A = this chain, B = another copy of it.
Amino acid sequence: MKEIRIDSINNDIVIFAKDRAKRPMDKMNEENEEKNKNEYNQKCPFCRGNEINSPDLKFKIEDENDWVVRSVNNKYPIVDKFQDNIYGNHEVMIDTYRHNGSFYNMSEDEFYNMFLMYRNRYSDFIKDEKIKYVTIFKNYLRKAGASLNHPHSQIISISIIPPDIEKEVNISRKYYKDNNRHLYDDIIKNEIEEKKRVVNNSENFLTLVPKSTKYTGEIRIIFKKNIRFEDIENNEIRELSKIFKNLFSNIYKVNGDLPFNIFIHTHPKNSESEYLNVHIHIIPRKNSFGGFELSTGIYVSSIEPEHIAKKIKF
Protein backbone atom coordinates (compact mmCIF):
# COMPACT_ATOMS: atom_id res chain seq x y z
CA MET A 1 0.00 0.00 0.00
CA LYS A 2 1.38 3.35 -1.06
CA GLU A 3 0.14 6.71 0.00
CA ILE A 4 0.84 10.13 -1.39
CA ARG A 5 0.69 13.15 0.89
CA ILE A 6 1.43 16.83 0.40
CA ASP A 7 3.33 18.74 3.07
CA SER A 8 0.70 21.40 3.67
CA ILE A 9 3.09 24.16 4.61
CA ASN A 10 5.37 23.94 1.58
CA ASN A 11 3.66 21.61 -0.92
CA ASP A 12 6.50 19.03 -0.88
CA ILE A 13 5.23 15.72 -2.20
CA VAL A 14 5.89 12.62 -0.10
CA ILE A 15 5.20 8.98 -1.00
CA PHE A 16 4.76 6.60 1.93
CA ALA A 17 6.12 3.21 0.91
CA LYS A 18 6.31 1.22 4.12
CA ASP A 19 7.52 -2.01 2.54
CA ARG A 20 10.78 -0.40 1.55
CA ALA A 21 11.90 -0.48 5.17
CA LYS A 22 12.20 -4.25 4.71
CA ARG A 23 14.60 -4.19 1.77
CA PRO A 24 17.89 -5.95 2.43
CA MET A 25 20.98 -3.89 3.04
CA ASP A 26 24.44 -5.14 2.19
CA LYS A 27 26.65 -5.00 5.23
CA MET A 28 28.72 -1.90 4.81
CA ASN A 29 29.19 1.27 6.71
CA GLU A 30 29.93 4.60 5.15
CA GLU A 31 33.63 4.54 5.75
CA ASN A 32 34.13 0.94 4.87
CA GLU A 33 31.99 -0.37 2.05
CA GLU A 34 32.59 -3.90 0.77
CA LYS A 35 36.21 -4.23 -0.28
CA ASN A 36 38.20 -6.70 -2.39
CA LYS A 37 35.18 -7.42 -4.52
CA ASN A 38 35.36 -10.16 -7.14
CA GLU A 39 33.50 -10.43 -10.42
CA TYR A 40 31.13 -12.90 -8.77
CA ASN A 41 29.66 -12.84 -5.27
CA GLN A 42 27.71 -15.87 -4.14
CA LYS A 43 25.30 -13.89 -1.99
CA CYS A 44 24.53 -11.17 -4.54
CA PRO A 45 21.06 -11.38 -6.17
CA PHE A 46 22.32 -9.45 -9.21
CA CYS A 47 25.28 -11.71 -10.10
CA ARG A 48 25.33 -14.15 -13.03
CA GLY A 49 24.21 -17.56 -11.84
CA ASN A 50 22.05 -16.07 -9.05
CA GLU A 51 19.15 -15.07 -11.32
CA ILE A 52 16.75 -17.08 -9.18
CA ASN A 53 17.09 -14.26 -6.61
CA SER A 54 16.24 -11.57 -9.14
CA PRO A 55 13.38 -13.05 -11.17
CA ASP A 56 10.82 -11.08 -13.21
CA LEU A 57 13.25 -10.45 -16.03
CA LYS A 58 12.09 -7.61 -18.28
CA PHE A 59 15.07 -7.14 -20.58
CA LYS A 60 18.59 -8.39 -21.16
CA ILE A 61 21.49 -8.10 -23.58
CA GLU A 62 23.65 -11.16 -24.08
CA ASP A 63 27.12 -11.67 -25.49
CA GLU A 64 28.54 -15.02 -26.64
CA ASN A 65 28.81 -16.22 -23.02
CA ASP A 66 25.82 -15.00 -21.04
CA TRP A 67 23.88 -11.84 -20.26
CA VAL A 68 25.84 -8.62 -19.81
CA VAL A 69 23.06 -6.28 -18.64
CA ARG A 70 19.67 -7.20 -17.26
CA SER A 71 16.59 -5.37 -16.01
CA VAL A 72 14.24 -6.87 -13.42
CA ASN A 73 11.28 -5.75 -11.36
CA ASN A 74 12.27 -4.00 -8.13
CA LYS A 75 11.24 -6.21 -5.21
CA TYR A 76 10.69 -3.19 -2.97
CA PRO A 77 9.11 -0.70 -5.37
CA ILE A 78 8.53 2.97 -4.58
CA VAL A 79 5.43 2.81 -6.79
CA ASP A 80 3.38 -0.04 -8.22
CA LYS A 81 0.37 -0.68 -10.44
CA PHE A 82 -2.16 -1.41 -7.70
CA GLN A 83 -3.49 2.10 -7.17
CA ASP A 84 -4.62 4.85 -9.49
CA ASN A 85 -3.63 7.90 -7.44
CA ILE A 86 0.00 6.86 -7.25
CA TYR A 87 0.50 4.47 -10.13
CA GLY A 88 3.81 3.46 -11.66
CA ASN A 89 6.46 0.88 -12.36
CA HIS A 90 9.89 0.33 -10.85
CA GLU A 91 12.72 -1.80 -12.27
CA VAL A 92 16.31 -2.34 -11.24
CA MET A 93 18.72 -2.23 -14.17
CA ILE A 94 21.92 -4.20 -13.58
CA ASP A 95 24.61 -2.00 -15.16
CA THR A 96 27.04 -4.87 -15.75
CA TYR A 97 27.28 -8.54 -14.82
CA ARG A 98 30.52 -7.75 -12.97
CA HIS A 99 29.94 -7.50 -9.22
CA ASN A 100 33.13 -5.47 -8.96
CA GLY A 101 32.16 -3.11 -11.78
CA SER A 102 31.56 0.58 -11.16
CA PHE A 103 31.34 3.73 -13.27
CA TYR A 104 34.96 4.26 -12.29
CA ASN A 105 36.18 1.07 -14.01
CA MET A 106 33.54 0.17 -16.61
CA SER A 107 34.65 -0.03 -20.25
CA GLU A 108 33.15 2.02 -23.05
CA ASP A 109 31.33 -1.12 -24.24
CA GLU A 110 29.86 -1.73 -20.81
CA PHE A 111 28.50 1.81 -20.75
CA TYR A 112 27.19 1.28 -24.28
CA ASN A 113 25.17 -1.79 -23.27
CA MET A 114 23.96 -0.04 -20.15
CA PHE A 115 22.66 2.93 -22.16
CA LEU A 116 21.02 0.59 -24.69
CA MET A 117 19.19 -0.91 -21.72
CA TYR A 118 18.30 2.57 -20.39
CA ARG A 119 16.75 3.45 -23.78
CA ASN A 120 14.90 0.16 -24.07
CA ARG A 121 13.35 0.35 -20.62
CA TYR A 122 12.56 4.05 -21.01
CA SER A 123 10.80 3.45 -24.35
CA ASP A 124 8.81 0.68 -22.77
CA PHE A 125 7.88 2.59 -19.60
CA ILE A 126 6.84 5.77 -21.44
CA LYS A 127 4.24 3.89 -23.49
CA ASP A 128 2.02 3.18 -20.49
CA GLU A 129 -1.04 5.41 -20.88
CA LYS A 130 -1.43 6.05 -17.18
CA ILE A 131 2.03 7.43 -16.55
CA LYS A 132 3.20 11.04 -16.93
CA TYR A 133 6.91 10.81 -16.27
CA VAL A 134 9.78 8.32 -16.32
CA THR A 135 12.93 8.86 -14.28
CA ILE A 136 16.24 7.00 -14.59
CA PHE A 137 18.72 7.36 -11.76
CA LYS A 138 21.62 5.67 -10.02
CA ASN A 139 22.81 5.76 -6.40
CA TYR A 140 26.46 4.84 -5.90
CA LEU A 141 27.54 3.84 -2.38
CA ARG A 142 25.51 3.97 0.82
CA LYS A 143 26.07 7.69 1.34
CA ALA A 144 24.22 8.27 -1.94
CA GLY A 145 21.35 5.98 -0.95
CA ALA A 146 22.49 2.62 -2.38
CA SER A 147 21.48 -0.47 -0.44
CA LEU A 148 23.26 -3.11 -2.56
CA ASN A 149 26.83 -3.11 -3.88
CA HIS A 150 26.37 -4.73 -7.29
CA PRO A 151 26.38 -1.91 -9.88
CA HIS A 152 22.80 -1.05 -10.74
CA SER A 153 20.56 1.79 -11.87
CA GLN A 154 16.84 2.29 -11.40
CA ILE A 155 13.95 3.33 -13.59
CA ILE A 156 10.61 4.52 -12.23
CA SER A 157 7.48 5.63 -14.05
CA ILE A 158 4.91 7.69 -12.22
CA SER A 159 1.41 9.01 -12.78
CA ILE A 160 2.25 12.57 -11.77
CA ILE A 161 4.70 15.14 -13.14
CA PRO A 162 7.34 15.52 -10.40
CA PRO A 163 7.67 19.07 -9.03
CA ASP A 164 11.34 19.43 -9.93
CA ILE A 165 10.55 18.50 -13.54
CA GLU A 166 7.57 20.80 -13.72
CA LYS A 167 9.76 23.61 -12.42
CA GLU A 168 12.44 23.04 -15.09
CA VAL A 169 9.79 22.77 -17.82
CA ASN A 170 8.12 26.00 -16.69
CA ILE A 171 11.41 27.86 -16.50
CA SER A 172 12.41 26.77 -20.02
CA ARG A 173 8.99 27.75 -21.41
CA LYS A 174 9.04 31.15 -19.71
CA TYR A 175 12.56 31.76 -21.01
CA TYR A 176 11.37 31.13 -24.54
CA LYS A 177 8.40 33.45 -24.15
CA ASP A 178 10.58 36.19 -22.67
CA ASN A 179 13.51 35.90 -25.08
CA ASN A 180 12.22 34.10 -28.15
CA ARG A 181 15.24 31.83 -27.80
CA HIS A 182 15.68 28.41 -26.20
CA LEU A 183 17.25 28.40 -22.71
CA TYR A 184 19.30 25.27 -23.34
CA ASP A 185 20.58 26.57 -26.69
CA ASP A 186 21.70 29.74 -24.93
CA ILE A 187 23.39 27.84 -22.11
CA ILE A 188 25.24 25.67 -24.64
CA LYS A 189 26.28 28.68 -26.74
CA ASN A 190 27.41 30.77 -23.75
CA GLU A 191 29.28 27.98 -22.04
CA ILE A 192 31.16 27.06 -25.20
CA GLU A 193 32.07 30.72 -25.68
CA GLU A 194 33.16 31.21 -22.06
CA LYS A 195 34.90 27.82 -22.18
CA LYS A 196 36.13 27.79 -18.56
CA ARG A 197 33.37 25.58 -17.16
CA VAL A 198 33.35 23.15 -20.10
CA VAL A 199 34.54 19.65 -19.21
CA ASN A 200 34.03 18.23 -22.70
CA ASN A 201 32.42 19.45 -25.90
CA SER A 202 31.53 16.68 -28.37
CA GLU A 203 29.23 16.54 -31.38
CA ASN A 204 25.97 15.87 -29.58
CA PHE A 205 26.69 16.62 -25.91
CA LEU A 206 28.10 19.42 -23.80
CA THR A 207 29.59 18.30 -20.46
CA LEU A 208 30.10 21.11 -17.98
CA VAL A 209 30.27 22.21 -14.37
CA PRO A 210 27.20 24.47 -13.98
CA LYS A 211 27.83 28.14 -13.28
CA SER A 212 25.46 27.75 -10.39
CA THR A 213 24.18 24.61 -8.71
CA LYS A 214 23.08 23.80 -5.21
CA TYR A 215 25.35 20.74 -5.29
CA THR A 216 29.02 21.68 -5.14
CA GLY A 217 30.85 19.59 -7.73
CA GLU A 218 27.79 18.76 -9.83
CA ILE A 219 28.46 17.92 -13.48
CA ARG A 220 25.80 18.25 -16.19
CA ILE A 221 25.71 16.63 -19.59
CA ILE A 222 23.32 18.50 -21.88
CA PHE A 223 21.93 16.97 -25.07
CA LYS A 224 22.58 19.53 -27.80
CA LYS A 225 19.64 18.40 -29.92
CA ASN A 226 16.18 18.74 -28.48
CA ILE A 227 15.21 15.07 -28.79
CA ARG A 228 13.21 12.86 -26.47
CA PHE A 229 15.27 10.34 -24.54
CA GLU A 230 13.70 7.34 -26.25
CA ASP A 231 14.84 8.75 -29.62
CA ILE A 232 18.54 8.76 -28.83
CA GLU A 233 20.40 6.98 -31.67
CA ASN A 234 23.03 4.28 -31.39
CA ASN A 235 25.84 6.58 -32.53
CA GLU A 236 24.81 9.09 -29.84
CA ILE A 237 24.81 6.32 -27.24
CA ARG A 238 28.33 5.41 -28.38
CA GLU A 239 29.39 9.04 -27.98
CA LEU A 240 27.80 9.23 -24.51
CA SER A 241 29.58 6.02 -23.49
CA LYS A 242 32.94 7.53 -24.42
CA ILE A 243 32.09 10.62 -22.38
CA PHE A 244 31.13 8.53 -19.32
CA LYS A 245 34.30 6.45 -19.60
CA ASN A 246 36.54 9.54 -19.72
CA LEU A 247 34.57 11.60 -17.25
CA PHE A 248 34.46 9.00 -14.48
CA SER A 249 38.07 8.10 -15.04
CA ASN A 250 38.95 11.77 -14.41
CA ILE A 251 36.62 12.12 -11.44
CA TYR A 252 38.31 9.08 -9.89
CA LYS A 253 41.78 10.59 -10.42
CA VAL A 254 40.74 13.72 -8.53
CA ASN A 255 38.37 12.35 -5.87
CA GLY A 256 38.91 8.59 -5.59
CA ASP A 257 35.91 6.38 -4.94
CA LEU A 258 33.44 9.21 -4.40
CA PRO A 259 29.75 8.43 -3.71
CA PHE A 260 27.46 10.00 -6.31
CA ASN A 261 23.95 10.14 -7.72
CA ILE A 262 23.11 10.35 -11.39
CA PHE A 263 19.74 11.21 -12.82
CA ILE A 264 18.47 11.96 -16.28
CA HIS A 265 15.95 14.76 -16.64
CA THR A 266 13.70 13.92 -19.57
CA HIS A 267 10.46 15.26 -21.06
CA PRO A 268 7.18 14.63 -19.27
CA LYS A 269 4.70 12.81 -21.46
CA ASN A 270 1.99 14.90 -23.12
CA SER A 271 2.99 18.23 -21.73
CA GLU A 272 4.24 21.42 -23.30
CA SER A 273 7.84 20.58 -22.61
CA GLU A 274 9.37 21.28 -25.99
CA TYR A 275 11.67 23.96 -24.56
CA LEU A 276 13.53 21.50 -22.34
CA ASN A 277 16.62 19.60 -23.54
CA VAL A 278 17.32 16.21 -21.98
CA HIS A 279 20.23 16.52 -19.54
CA ILE A 280 22.03 14.35 -17.04
CA HIS A 281 22.84 15.54 -13.51
CA ILE A 282 25.85 13.92 -11.82
CA ILE A 283 25.90 14.81 -8.13
CA PRO A 284 28.90 13.98 -5.93
CA ARG A 285 27.90 13.25 -2.34
CA LYS A 286 30.87 14.76 -0.59
CA ASN A 287 29.38 17.45 1.58
CA SER A 288 26.19 17.54 3.64
CA PHE A 289 23.78 20.41 3.64
CA GLY A 290 23.48 22.15 7.00
CA GLY A 291 20.66 24.01 8.70
CA PHE A 292 21.08 27.16 6.62
CA GLU A 293 20.37 25.32 3.37
CA LEU A 294 17.56 23.23 4.86
CA SER A 295 15.98 26.30 6.41
CA THR A 296 16.12 28.68 3.50
CA GLY A 297 16.49 26.83 0.21
CA ILE A 298 19.59 28.97 -0.37
CA TYR A 299 22.75 26.96 -0.92
CA VAL A 300 26.30 27.88 -0.04
CA SER A 301 29.25 26.92 -2.16
CA SER A 302 32.88 27.55 -1.40
CA ILE A 303 34.49 26.19 -4.57
CA GLU A 304 34.40 27.91 -7.97
CA PRO A 305 32.88 25.78 -10.77
CA GLU A 306 35.72 26.92 -13.03
CA HIS A 307 38.22 25.35 -10.65
CA ILE A 308 36.42 22.01 -10.70
CA ALA A 309 36.07 22.01 -14.51
CA LYS A 310 39.79 22.63 -14.93
CA LYS A 311 40.65 19.54 -12.92
CA ILE A 312 38.44 17.07 -14.77
CA LYS A 313 38.20 18.36 -18.34
CA PHE A 314 39.15 16.08 -21.23
Contacts and interface: CB of A to CB of B under 8 A. Distances in A.
Interface of A: 5-21, 29-31, 78, 133, 135, 137-139, 142-146, 154, 156, 158, 160, 162-165, 167-168, 171-172, 175, 183, 187, 210-214, 261-265, 279, 281, 283, 285, 288-304
Given A31-B29, A145-B288, A214 B12 contact: yes
Contacts of A164: 10, 295-297
Contacts of A30: 30-31
Given A162-B296, A162-B298, A212 B7 contact: yes
A144 to B, nearest CB: 6
A156 B298 CA distance: 12
A172 B7 CA distance: 12
Of A13, A210, A294, chain B has the most CB atoms within 10 Å of the CB of: A294
Nearest to A29: B31
B214 A144 contact: no
A15 B299 contact: yes
A128 to B, nearest CB: 17
A292 B168 contact: no
A112 B264 CA distance: 48
Contacts of A156: 292
A265 B297 CA distance: 12
Contact of A288 (B8, B262, B285, B293): B285
A198 to B, nearest CB: 16
B17 A300 contact: yes
A170 to B, nearest CB: 9
A265 B10 CA distance: 12
A213 B300 contact: no
Contacts of A139: 290-291
B291 A138 contact: yes
B299 A13 contact: yes
7 contacts: A5-B212, A7-B214, A8-B183, A14-B298, A145-B291, A154-B292, A162-B296
Contacts of A211: 5, 8
A290 B12 contact: no
Nearest to A165: B296
Contacts of A16: 300-302, 304
Given A5-B211, A294-B261, A295-B137, A19 B288 contact: no
Contacts of A279: 9
Contact of A144 (B15, B213, B290, B301): B290
A14 B261 contact: no
Of A9, A138, A139, chain B has the most CB atoms within 10 Å of the CB of: A9
Contact of A163 (B18, B137, B297): B297
A187 B297 contact: no
A190 to B, nearest CB: 10
B8 A300 contact: no
A34 B314 CA distance: 41
Contacts of A158: 296, 298
A88 to B, nearest CB: 11
